[in-house]
Structures are given as C-alpha cells and as structure tokens.
Amino acid sequence: MAEVRHGYGRRPVLDGVSLALGAGEAVAVLGPNGAGKSTLLRIAAGRERPDAGTVTFRDAPADEDAAAFRADVACALGPGAHYPDLTVREHLLLVALAHGVPDAEERVDAALGEHRLADHAEQFPDALSAGLGQLLSLAATRVRPVALLILDEPEAHLDAEARVALGARLRGLAAGGAAVLLATHDPALAERAGARRL
C-alpha cells in the first residue's frame, strides 16, 4: 500500500497512508472510532478502491473480484455474512471445499474445537450468540488456505479466554508464514499476536 488517500464526500479519512506487510508479519491498526481503520482494511482487501495511491498483493492490484486474490486472502471485516440455511459445520465445510482443501472434514473438526464451536456444530448461525457468531466468522478464515488474513475488530463480542486464544492463533499464523493485518481497539490482542502497531 503506497500513498493511499481516501475520503467520503469532503471528509478525508486516509491521507497518504503507506504500509508494507510481508509474509510472516502481523500489523495491528489501532485508533479511535472513525479514524479510518475499517476503510483501510476494506481497501487492503480490495473491496473498496482508494481515491489515490496503490494497493498491491503479490505484484498485482488488490481486487476481491480476482480469483487469484480471493484464493490467497481471507477476510472477516464485520458482522458475519453467514448462510442461514446451513449449520455451523456445513458453513465451514462449504468454505473449505470451495477452496479445495483436501482434508476438509478434519480441518473443519479442528476449527470447531479450536474456536469452541464443537457443541454448536449442528446449530444454524441465527441461533448463535454474538460471540459465537464472531467465532464462526473467525473459524471460516481458518478452514481454508491463507497467505494474507485481514480482520476488522476480531475481538468484538469475544470473552477474555477467546481473546487470548485469538492472539495466540494470529501469532501462530504469522509464524507459519502468513501475513496478518488487523484493526483492533485491544492493545493486549495486538501484543499477543506479536503485531507491530500502525
């Protein structure tokens, strides 16, 4: 991301933001509400085009419509867009199979356990609490291959134990070679994730 500028109407939100994020790195964007964190993540995820500047991933423009970009980049950028007629397990299995994961069932079982969703695997997303819904969104990013993970306030609705586990998972993901970009209001989460702060 180089010299990114973006605004809404006459209100500038991002003014010349540059960020380099490599494999095995984690970056946490901290700041008050309205500071532009979510806008920055939507632009990084190729969901919104900046007014000026460039955003690239693997030497190609960040574009969520590009198949190669979607194959490598996993995002959880807000309230989960879950399939209401699929159970938690079916939802995760669909994500894994769509990404060609060969051991999809095992990967889903591991994600269910890791995210404390095993007891809720046969429930529909609408029956979940806000915290469990957030864990489902996070689990969906873990059942597929990922080179870049982008998360907007992933700690939302999570209890203290889940936040600690999330930090450890993000640190482990980066240690395994993925890049992690997150916006958070929780400095402790950024620290547990081993993220440098922006």
Walk along the chain (198 residues) and give the pLDDT tens digit of each residue.
999 999 998 899 999 999 999 999 999 999 999 899 999 999 999 999 999 999 999 999 999 999 999 999 999 998 777 888 999 999 999 999 999 999 999 999 999 999 999 999 999 999 999 999 999 999 999 999 999 999 999 999 999 999 999 999 999 999 999 999 999 999 999 999 999 998
Domains of the chain: 2-197 (3.40.50.300)
Could you give the maximum distance between any two Cα atoms of the chain, in Å? 50
Specify whether the CB–CB gap between 90 and 113 falls below 8 A. no
Chain-centroid distance of CA 117 in Å reads 18
Using the Cα atoms of residue 9, residue 13, residue 182 and residue 133 in order, give the sign of their dihedral. negative
Query: What pLDDT score does 91 carry?
Result: 97
Give the pLDDT score at 74.
96
The dihedral built from the CA positions of residue 95, 88, 83 and 155, taken in this order, carries a sign that is negative
Which are the contacts of 119, defined by CB distance < 8 A and separation ≥ 6? none
- pLDDT at position 14 is 95
Q: What is the pLDDT of residue 168?
A: 97
Contact 43, 51 (CB under 8 A): no
C-alpha to C-alpha distance for 182 and 197, rounded to whole angstroms: 10
Q: The pTM is what? A: 0.94
